[in-house]
Amino acid sequence: MKLRVLLLTALFSLPVFSEEKAVSIPENIQSLQQLLEQVKKDGLKEARVHKEREAVFATDAKEQKLALKKAKDELVATKKETNRLKNTFDDNEETLAELEEELRKRMGNLGEMFGVVRQVSQDIASIREHSLLANELGARSDVLDELSESKALPSIPELEQLWYEMQLHMTKQGESKAYKTTYLNANGIKVEGDIYHIGPFVAFNNDGFVNYDANTQLFLELNKQPNEAGLIDSYIDSGEDIESMIIDPTRGTLLSLNSQSPSVMDRIHQGGLIGYIILTLAFSGIVYAGILLVQRFTMQQQIKVQLNSPETINTSNPLGRILSVYKNEQSASDLETLEMKLDEAVLKELPELEKGLSIVKLLAAVAPLLGLLGTVTGMIATFQSITLFGTGDPKLMAGGISQALITTVLGLVAAIPLLFMHNILNGRSKEMIQILDQQAAGIIAEQAQKRS
């Protein structure tokens, strides 16, 4: 029991070397002497560990001092180098300014020439790339590209090359000739044949005008040829030195726009089904009104002939039939009965004289209404396209808008001539009816005078 107390006392009297290392008592210690030796041994071990740590720390401190000193030395050297480079940069700036000033003085008018050379090179390169002559000369020129992008004064050989390129381009612009090349026909198929060109203004083959496409670097046949394409055959077949031929001063732009603009038939097709109905009604109405107009003219001539010879009664015209009634009834009837007979004869002639007027008038009124119907259906189609695809692409709405406008135009085009023809027919009918009324009234007046 005493031994255990002493051991615990010795344990609590041991120094604590580390908080992280737990103190343990070996199980083979049986006496105080053994405990004392163990404590001494552990104390020596801990002392040695502390000395090693102090040595390591001292070594690290020296290395940190050396590293710090090295970093400070590098900082000083860097600042010196920075100052030196800054001074060198400032000196170079001054030298560069002096050299630029000297260059400006030495260049004099050459600087303006340099700008002119670049500008002229760029202009000629752009014209050549999009010209009809690009197919023959080539779309690009290395000389022009180098001069247009150069930042130095051109040399004498380069100026001579620029002059040659300009002279070549001017010479080709003055030529009118034919040469074989590959082009795309109207179906988009590559074919080889003769291409005729008149300077840089117009190009054509045996089938019609062609235009140059800078993207494919090929000639393209126009899908729609202008009316002047009929001059091509006479120009090609002519053996004269001078021959008439159209040119495009815009170098193909007007021909391209003409091929894209819709023709009259294209406009009619844009009207759709309603447009076809309007045209059918207009054509039928005009033909029918023309037939009626011929009949009215013939009838009017017959009436005039009958007026000039009232003794010779011809029952093939309205006035002759009225005179025939008067001839048959003048002796057997009294004046009142004769007047009623003549009125009846005039009334019988009215349907023939007014025949077809209501139909022509109806067609003239229906045509604009059909045009309005086409306008409404076209706008419905337009708004449906907007609902489905939005307003990002105007081409999606163009079909409905075209139908809306074309049907309105077709309705007005159909109504205007029909109204004119209805007015002419109505006027001739009223003129003939007035003649019949006048003749009937004159007959009655003459009989009344005789009988009185």
Domain boundaries, the chain: 2-77, 108-173, 177-261, 270-451
- What is the rounded distance in angstroms from the CA atom of residue 162 to the CA atom of residue 116? 12
- 148, 153, 155, 158: CA torsion to nearest 10: 10
Any long-range contacts for 388-394 (C-beta under 8 Å, 24+ apart)? none
- What is the rounded distance in angstroms from the CA atom of residue 353 to the CA atom of residue 32? 159
Instruction: Kindly state the helix (H) or strand (E) to which residue 256 belongs, with its residue range.
Output: helix 253-260
The predicted-structure confidence for 176-232, as pLDDT tens digits, reads as follows: 888 888 888 877 788 888 888 888 888 888 888 888 887 787 888 887 777 777 778
CB-CB neighbours of 306 under 10 Å: 23
Here the tokens at position 247 are 């040119």
pLDDT of residue 25: 54
Q: At what angle do helices 156-173 and 142-149 cross, to 10 degrees?
A: 130
pTM score = 0.52
pLDDT of residue 93: 92
Contact 143, 122 (CB under 8 A): no
Identify the band that residue 99 occupies on the pLDDT scale cut at 50, 70 and 90.
confident
- What is the rounded distance in angstroms from the CA atom of residue 25 to the CA atom of residue 248? 115
Identify the band that residue 319 occupies on the pLDDT scale cut at 50, 70 and 90.
confident
Identify the band that residue 440 occupies on the pLDDT scale cut at 50, 70 and 90.
confident
CB-CB neighbours of 449 under 10 Å: 8
- What is the rounded distance in angstroms from the CA atom of residue 391 to the CA atom of residue 414? 33
- What is the rounded distance in angstroms from the CA atom of residue 85 to the CA atom of residue 93? 12
Alpha helix (H) residue ranges in 354-394: 357-389
Q: Reduced to 3 states, what is the DSSP secondary structure of residue 162? A: helix
Find all residues with CB under 8 Å of 261, minimum gap 6, and list them.
224
Q: What is the 3-state secondary structure (H, E, C) of 390-452?
A: CCCCCHHHHHHHHHHHHHHHHHHHHHHHHHHHHHHHHHHHHHHHHHHHHHHHHHHHHHHHHHC
Which one, of 273, 365, 272, 353, lies nearest residue 317 by Cα?
353
CB-CB neighbours of 281 under 10 Å: 21
Residue 278 burial by Cβ neighbours in a 10 Å radius (0-12, 13-18, 19+): buried
For the residues 409-425, what does the mean pLDDT come to? 91
Contact 288, 364 (CB under 8 A): no
pLDDT of residue 418: 92
Considering the chain, what is the average pLDDT of its residues?
A: 79
Task: Give residue 18's identity as a one-letter amino acid code.
Answer: S
Identify the band that residue 377 occupies on the pLDDT scale cut at 50, 70 and 90.
confident
Here the tokens at position 17 are 């070397």
Q: What sign for the dihedral angle of Cα 161, 216, 260, 246?
A: positive
CB-CB neighbours of 379 under 10 Å: 15
For the residues 232-236, what does the mean pLDDT come to? 79
Which 8-state DSSP code applies to residue 229?
A: G
Which one, of 264, 261, 245, lies nearest residue 253 by Cα?
261
In the chain the first and final C-alpha atoms are separated, in Å, by: 187
Q: Reduced to 3 states, what is the DSSP secondary structure of residue 311? A: coil
Residue carrying the six token digits 């005789």? 450
The predicted-structure confidence for 198-214, as pLDDT tens digits, reads as follows: 888 888 888 888 888 87
Q: Reduced to 3 states, what is the DSSP secondary structure of residue 212? A: strand
Of the ranges 41-45, 82-86, 197-201, 327-331, which is most confident?
82-86
Q: What angle do CA 437, 442, 448 make, to 5 degrees?
A: 130
Identify the band that residue 5 occupies on the pLDDT scale cut at 50, 70 and 90.
very low
pLDDT of residue 242: 75
